[in-house]
Structures are given as C-alpha cells and as structure tokens.
Structure 1
Amino acid sequence: MTRTERGPVTRPALSRCIRVPAEEFADRHWGREPLLSTAADLGVGFEDLFSAEAVDELVTRRGVRTPFIRMAHEGTVLPASAYTASGGFGAEIADQVSSDKVLAEFADGATIVLQGLHRLWPPIIDFTRALIDDVGHPAQVNAYVTPPSSQGFEPHYDTHDVFVLQVSGEKHWRIHAPVHVDPLRTQPWDQHRAAVARAATHEPVIDAVLRPGDALYLPRGWIHSATALGATSVHLTVGMSAYTRADVVDALLREVGDNAALRASLPLGIDLRDPEALAPIVEQTVQALIETLQRSDASRPAAVLGARLDAETRAEPVSPLATLDALETLDADTPVRWRGSLPVRITTVDDRVRIVARTKTLSLPAEAERAVRRLATGDVVTPRELPELDTESAVVVVRRLVREGFVVASG
C-alpha cells in the first residue's frame, strides 16, 4: 500500500486559487493556458496567508538572510550589500537584512522579493504543503513587494508554472503567448531574450489589473510583466515545478545499464569526431535502446520520480518538544492521526509489518498491520479504536509511531 496525501476530491488549497472546478482546470488550463480568477469568483482573499505587516515583520524582526531576500530595480537585481549588513553583536553574520537599507532602496523604487516563504512563514508553510498534496508536484512561494508605479522585472517567462495571488494593492499584468512552449529548467528565458522582447510588443493575451483577492495562473513559458499602480503592491508567486515527460524519459534511460549491448565499450582507436565512423554504432545503439525501452514498464519511473518528489517536498512539520510532552500523556483515548503529507509504503513480510518512508523504515509485529493501515487513512482515531489490537498493545504501537514521526497527536 502506498499512502500519498492528495486530500479530498475538492482539492481545497488548489480551489482557493482557481474559479473553475479542479477537473476543468486540469483538463483545460494545467500546462496549457492562463486562467484569471477575481476576488468575486474566489470569495476569499489571501491576507490569512500574508500581509504588508508580515513583510515589515520579516524585514525588521526575523533576521532574514540571503537568499531568502533579494531586491531588484527596474529589472536589475541589486547586490546583496545594498540591502544587507552584519547582524551585530551575538549574530555576526554579514548578510542579514538591514531594514534601513531596505527602506532606502524601496523608497527609491526597488522591489522586495522575499523568497522561500514556504519555509519561513507558518500560514504559507501549511498552505504550500496542502497545495502540493492537491497538484502532486513540488511548489515554492515568494512574495513580491513593489512600490507604487514601479516594475520589478522586464518581460520574461518562467520555467515553472505559477499562481499569482494578489494580497494587497493593485498590479497591472500583461501576458503574452510563449515563444518557446513548455521550457525545461535548462531553457531559461534569456536564451530567447530577443524573441521575448518582440513578443512583449504585441497585443497581450491578458491585460488586466489584479486587485486584492484576485489570482492568476500562468503555465511555464508564458511571457509576463507587471507594474504596481497607485499603492504598494504585495503579491505571492506560487511556483510549481511540474514534472514532465522528459523526466519520465530520464527515468527510463536509467534502464540502459540493464542491457549488455549498451554497456559495451566503443571500438579501440575509433575517431569520435568522425560521423561516418559513429554512424553504424549509433544505429546499433538506437536499436538496442528501443529493445530495452519496449521491455520497460512504469515501475522504475515510479520509483525514480517518487523518490525525487519525496526529496523535493516536506511532510507536515513535527514539534519536538510538544511531541515529547504528548507522549507523556498519551493513552487509549488520545486522538491521533497520520502525519500530513507523509507518503509511505506498507508491506507485510513474514511476521512483521514494514512502514517504509523516504528517510526511515519502521518494523512492527504483523498483528499491528490493520491498525497501521487504519491510521494511514488520515482519519483522526484513538488507540482504543484501532482494529485487532487490545488497548494496551494499541497504545504501545501508537506511542512508537508518534515517537518515530509517523503519527501526530490531534488534540
């Protein structure tokens, strides 16, 4: 059994960002075309996730360091020394944010970029994890804080999909169709700088002002630029690094080592610069590769991409102190649940049930299997409610799962 937290069919985190049903978004928009959703469509703003006050707190009180902060002025990224300084006595770190310097640059028209908020700001940490469960791809969140009438970056495209969530202020967005469809990470926009600049002079596909509570989805490759209007603009950019068929190809190519013909050395003395010398070898290699791929199934790509997803995303955080306190009082009536966004594989071998996660494997007696599977559904239960275990044994199993970070107290 594999547990992959994807949430209910409604996909609640995703639904906050789109005005259409999730199924329609998947079929029509995901990786294909932009979607503009207004606050009236969505019904709920984004100030529970972030705010102008949160920006000030991060800049003034949190000791943020590069690369979690950067600044840009009219498309040019400023050197870190322009907005950072030493933390002073007791925190002699040279690249901590300097609120004085940030104020000076911001007042002069520079945009503040707060990066990696999915690791810094608690509401965004929780939202990002839920969104990853919904979309099945890694995500990150940055905040862009732009002073009035300023443009942070010139027209460009991203190599990942984005949701733009307007928190406060207004920003005028111009969206143009791609000049390079579905770019990979190795194909950034500056490789097509001239074509992007030309495309940005044409009639935009979307020309709209985002106001608080509005959201915009952009597939990778779509060209965009934005200008703040009459007040400071704060928006979140949720970047989603969608896995591609090229990633599946990379995973499949790992099987070439299973074919002895593909492991064979090239001839002694071959001139690697001579296409004619390589031609028969290329033909033979392609044929051997075809034969290898025709024998392939989804098991290796699933293992490779699954391991990559686990490495690029994080499960629900656990609180070390609170967890140890909970263990002290955990009894048969303590509500517990599976740790959010923690995928595992549950198997039974001989007289043991094995719970395999990315970073660890836990082995328990086989009689605990049904209890473990019940917990892994994600429902809130008490040890007393677990099947096929007496109360004392159920408490012991749950204590072990909590101690190892598979289960958390829900009270």
Structure 2
Amino acid sequence: MVDTEKWGLSAVLGDRDIAAFLRTSWEREALLLHGAAVPLVGRLFTLADFERLACGGGAELSVVQNGQARPVVADRADRVPGRHVLAAYRSGATLLLSCLPSRCPPVGELCRGIEFDLLRLGLLPGDPVSANAYLTPPRAQGFGRHHDDHSVLVVQLHGSKRWEVFGPGSQGPEAVVSATLEAGDVLSIPAGFPHVAHTTDEASLHLTIGLHTLSWADALADMLRAHEPFRRSVTGPDTAGSTLPGLPELDVPGYLRSRRIRWIAGLDPLPGGQLLADAAAATVEADTLVGRVPLMPSESGSENGLARLTFPGGTLRLDGRLQPVIDYVAKAESFVPRQLPAVGADYDAVELTRILVRHHIFHPVEKAAGPEPAVPAAIPAARETAAAQEPVPAAVRTRDLTLVRDKGPAAGHHLGWMRLREPLSAAECDDLVAACRELPLTAPTTVDETGHPSHRRAQMRHVPKGPRTAWVYRLVEEVAREAARTVYGFDLTGITRAPQYVEYLPGNGHFHRHNDYSHDQLDSPRKITVIVQLSDPASYQGGALRMFGVETEELPRERGSVLVFPSLIDHCVTPVTEGLRRALVAWVAGPRLR
C-alpha cells in the first residue's frame, strides 16, 4: 500500500478522476487542464531551485539553441560555468535540466507517486517516470516541432508559454490544442502527437514529466526473445524460409506479474532516512509502533515455497509458513511487533520488524493518541517450528577452530587441504544464503578479474562486510589464521577483496582448472582460500571440488563444511548435472614469500 494523494497523478490532474482520465484520454487525446496543479506552484520546483542546480553544478544541464540541445560540461574545478550559462540564457537559449527526480526530492516524490498510481491502475512502467525542467527567456523557442515516443505531462510552474499540439502523424498547421499555459496549468500530450512551444513577453519555467509505460510491442518482443526461432536472423524477402515463425503459446499473465515484481524491486529507494535505518532498527522492541515510510510500498507473494516481500530496492524471501505475516505487513500502514499475526511457527516478531526497518520499509514513529492498531486474528499454524529465513546475524560465540583431515597429512607443515572440525549449523547456512541472495548479481570472473564465461559458468554475488555478514568475515579470517599458524606457516594481512557467493546451476555450473594466487591484483597475493559448502550434497549431482598436484581424496561435501587450502593450489569444480550447488568462496591475503 502507498498513499499517493500528496504526490501522484492527483497532484497534477487536479479534480479529474484518475481512472477516467486513463480510460478516456490517456494515449488518445491531448488535454488541457486549467489550474490543475496550482497547489504545486512555489512548492514543487522554483526559479531559485533551477538557478541553484544550473549554476551550482551537480545536475544534468543542457543549452538548447536552434532546436539542438548541447550538454554543459563542468570546468576543471568540477563546477558548471555559471556566467556562461547565464550569458546563453540572456542571448535567447533555453536551459534544460534533466534527471530531476534524483536531484530534487519533491520532484522525485512526485514521480514515485505517479509510478505507483500507474501500477495501481494496471499500467506497467517500462522505464522510471522522468522529469526535465525547461527555462525559456521571453520571445524565444527551444525545440522545433517534434513528437515524443512516450506520453508527457507538461506542468507550468512560472510565467507562461504558448503551445500548439497536432494530431498524430500530422504535417499540417491544424492544431488539436492551441493554448497559453499559465502557472498551475497542465497539458497532457500523448506519444506521437507533434507539438511546439514558445514564450511571448515573459520567461517560462515548466516541468515535463515523461510517462514511459510498457507497450504491447515491447512486451511481445520481451516474451518472444525467450523462444529460439525468434532469436534467429530475419531472411528475405526473396529468400526461402523467410516466413514469420509460428507464435508460441505465451504466458502473458505470468510475464506481467514477473515484470511488475522486477520493476518494483529495481527501483531505487528515495533518499531520506536510509543512513539512519540501522540505528533506528536497533531501537525496535515488542511495543514499538512502526509506520510505513512515505512512498515505500511493498507487495507480498510466494516463490518456490518461500514468502516474498517486494519493495523499491529489493526483495525479502522468508520461510513459507510466514506467508500470513508477510501478507499482513505488505498491506499495513503501521503495526506493533507483538501484534503481528500468530502462525504457529516460531519466529521473532521483533527481529522481523527490525529487518523491515533496516530496509527502510517502516520506521519507528511516536505513539499517537487513540486506539492501537487492530490485532489480526491468529492464523492456523504449520506443524513444525520454523524461523524466518531472512537472516539474523550469527551470535558472537566461541567456535572450535580445530582443523582436521580424515585421511592424509593432518599435522605439521604441508600444502594439503584441511577442514574445520565444527561445521556451520543449518541455521547459519540458511542465514548466509538468505543474506547473499539479496545482493545483486555480478559477472563471474577468474583471478585476473576478467570475465571468462567458458572458464567459470555460475551465478555470482560479491558479499560486502555489513551487519548481516560480519560474522562470516570473522570466521574466514580466524580459520585462515589458524591454518597459517598450525599448517602452512604463512604470514597473513587479512581479507582485502570481498568474498563471493556462488550458485552452480545444472547444465552450466562449473569452474575450469585454475588457482587463486592473484599475482597482479591489488590484494596480491592471495595466500589462503576458504570455501564454505552451503548446499546439502543430496540436493545436487556433480559439482565436485577437485585439486591438482597434492595428495587428496574425496573432498568434504557436507553442508556447512568449511574447507581451507593454499590459494596457489590448482583446483576446479566439475559441472553440476542436476540440482543446485551453493558455496561461499573467500581469500585471505598476505605478504609475498612469507
């Protein structure tokens, strides 16, 4: 849920019914709305805001002259040359500020509200809603007659401007809308409608809001790209076999649902409060009232047996038995942790709430006078105790760092592999997998940091050090230092490059023979490699870790196993033929030849 009454389509359409506008006017007709955005004048974006961004740097600024936009390049002091910009404006040029949603918080909030109004009413954005500001001096014109490939809303914020809008494909002088926009007026122009504008005796500042919605042509192209015949080259028109391939049966509802989820998760959260989210989460207790962060909606669903909560910036995947809790949270505007639904499964309501606060979906609020939020009815429970799979950082505890080996050398100095006698628990593995899967995918690389798809075929994520992963960094360093002290005789400096979470998939999961020593990297050289096995060996076939040049036998495959060996040893991962193998790979560096 999200409240877009303040910032959303209603802010620019005035009293007009949004659903009726989308049903009758959207993409069909140019429409002038007198005074629809008067409340935004002086609040949304002002001449002072424009001057601050245009002359102070930190914005995408262009000068429009003779119908052409020329970007303004910062000088060597990394500042926009303000006097040159003003000189161009005084000579009749239009100044164009682009990418305003990321530069001006009120504009960013307006665009985010519009995005979720579109989603709420069934329209899928293809790209984020954009906003550009145009400042045109008196008796001047920026661009010539042209059309856009997306619909726009023109919001007049200062002065006035004369607009002519023509029918789609029109080359003639007959305009479908001919009007002078005053401050607070809004002009809706559909994609493909040519238009042109100029000022008269006063300057004009207007905002053009671009609505980049997903078209059926784009959706079909996206769906058909998954079918091999449509990825072949087009031949013809006189070549044999130039006929259009037969259309496959398409799962349109499934595609649109997936696209909607990916769209929401791919949005950047609006700035404001994120740097304080961790500190705010630490204050949450069982009776703390938390409220939804403005313009931070979330949607619940299920995915591969897990409960899913999607929000701008990411997705949480939790134990499937928590689905009623996640459904409740997705719709709630505020709640108290102790009043979250009971599902008969063991879960920590306070810690779950802290996770939501850390992700800046909710934040602690002062308790208002009046009744507390209603307590939802208890939901019938699953049979077994379960913990939310969203990770809680592992407790700081003393861990047995004894290194062992079932066969082969286990004592004294040698270059063979060793394993930690005490493996990670199932809960620690679950926590680590859940934390890593929230991280963005990156291209797999080999030791020289170059992508080699034929050498390493897997899905990989860099794992930064943070509240949810600090315990893993501590574990890796402790294990490596114990191995260096008791087995390898190496000097170490520490972890200098982020560990990698790797998923080896069936049919393409493998890593050819290589070593991790990294002669030429910034962290040169890597001295010790630590691998944490995160999959149950019964859940996949293949995917065996093998070493070369040292005495070895079948390497440990048990879930939670922590394997350590010198980084200079050649090793490989055989192809996964069935299932999915997950592992964390980390390296500890040290000085050369010591």
* From 212, 231, 237, the counterpart of 2:183: 212
Asked whether the equivalents of residues 172 and 228 of structure 1 are also in contact (C-alpha less than 8 Å), the reply is yes
1:237 alignment counterpart:
208
Structure 2 residue identity aligned to 1:70: S
Q: Name which of structure 1's ranges 216-225 and 20-29 shifts more when overlaid on structure 2.
A: 20-29
Give the CA deviation at 1:306: 2.9
Give the CA deviation at 1:175: 1.1
Q: Sequence identity of aligned pairs in percent?
A: 26
Distance 1:263 1:165 in 2: 42
Matching of residue 168 in structure 1 with residue 163 in structure 2: no
2:279 alignment counterpart:
325
Q: 1:183-213: per-residue Cα shift (whole Å, max 9, x none)?
A: xxxxxxxxxxxxx6x43xx132111110011
**Distance change >3 Å, CA 410–CA 58, structure 1 → 2:** farther
Give the CA deviation at 1:384: 3.0
1:163 aligns to what SS in structure 2? strand
Structure 2 residue identity aligned to 1:330: V
Structure 1 residue identity aligned to 2:21: F
Asked whether the equivalents of residues 353 and 368 of structure 1 are also in contact (C-alpha less than 8 Å), the reply is yes
Distance 2:153 2:42 in 1: 16
2:144 alignment counterpart:
154
* From 114, 133, 140, the counterpart of 2:116: 133
**Distance change >3 Å, CA 129–CA 12, structure 1 → 2:** closer
Distance 1:265 1:50 in 2: 49
Matching of residue 379 in structure 1 with residue 333 in structure 2: yes
Give the CA deviation at 1:123: 0.6
1:78 aligns to what SS in structure 2? strand
1:59 alignment counterpart:
54
Asked whether the equivalents of residues 315 and 342 of structure 1 are also in contact (C-alpha less than 8 Å), the reply is no
* From 87, 90, 93, the counterpart of 1:104: 87
Distance 1:156 1:168 in 2: 23
Asked whether the equivalents of residues 11 and 22 of structure 1 are also in contact (C-alpha less than 8 Å), the reply is no
* From 241, 251, 260, the counterpart of 1:297: 251
Distance 2:237 2:191 in 1: 36
Distance 2:72 2:51 in 1: 18
Structure 2 residue identity aligned to 1:396: E
Distance 1:211 1:116 in 2: 24
Distance 2:49 2:148 in 1: 26
Structure 2 residue identity aligned to 1:172: R
Q: Name which of structure 1's ranges 167-176 and 308-317 shifts more when overlaid on structure 2.
A: 308-317
Structure 1 residue identity aligned to 2:338: R
Aligned-residue RMSD, C-alpha? 3.2
Structure 1 residue identity aligned to 2:200: L
1:144 alignment counterpart:
134
Distance 2:326 2:263 in 1: 23
Distance 2:323 2:269 in 1: 22
Asked whether the equivalents of residues 152 and 226 of structure 1 are also in contact (C-alpha less than 8 Å), the reply is yes
* From 1, 8, 11, the counterpart of 1:13: 8
Asked whether the equivalents of residues 278 and 357 of structure 2 are also in contact (C-alpha less than 8 Å), the reply is no
Structure 2 residue identity aligned to 1:253: L
2:205 aligns to what SS in structure 1? strand
Asked whether the equivalents of residues 318 and 405 of structure 1 are also in contact (C-alpha less than 8 Å), the reply is no
* From 43, 54, 59, the counterpart of 1:48: 43
Distance 2:238 2:69 in 1: 48
Q: 1:205-256: per-residue Cα shift (whole Å, max 9, x none)?
A: 1111100111010001111111122222111000111211101211331342
Give the CA deviation at 1:332: 2.8
2:207 aligns to what SS in structure 1? strand
Q: 1:18-38: per-residue Cα shift (whole Å, max 9, x none)?
A: 252112211211111011011
Structure 2 residue identity aligned to 1:48: R
**Distance change >3 Å, CA 265–CA 125, structure 1 → 2:** closer
1:190 alignment counterpart:
none
1:17 aligns to what SS in structure 2? helix
**Distance change >3 Å, CA 204–CA 353, structure 1 → 2:** closer
Distance 2:347 2:235 in 1: 72
Asked whether the equivalents of residues 324 and 341 of structure 2 are also in contact (C-alpha less than 8 Å), the reply is yes
Structure 2 residue identity aligned to 1:226: A
Asked whether the equivalents of residues 27 and 191 of structure 2 are also in contact (C-alpha less than 8 Å), the reply is yes
Count of matched residue pairs: 356
Asked whether the equivalents of residues 106 and 147 of structure 1 are also in contact (C-alpha less than 8 Å), the reply is yes
* From 343, 355, 362, the counterpart of 1:400: 355
Asked whether the equivalents of residues 151 and 226 of structure 1 are also in contact (C-alpha less than 8 Å), the reply is yes
- In structure 2, runs of 5+ residues without a counterpart are 120-124, 367-594
Which is richer in helix?
Answer: 1
**Distance change >3 Å, CA 241–CA 371, structure 1 → 2:** same
Asked whether the equivalents of residues 338 and 377 of structure 1 are also in contact (C-alpha less than 8 Å), the reply is no
1:77 alignment counterpart:
69
Determine which structure has greater relative contact order: mean sequence separation of CA pairs < 8 Å that are 6+ residues apart, divided by chain length.
1
- In structure 1, runs of 5+ residues without a counterpart are 180-195, 267-271
2:468 alignment counterpart:
none
Distance 2:333 2:268 in 1: 20
Give the CA deviation at 1:373: 1.8
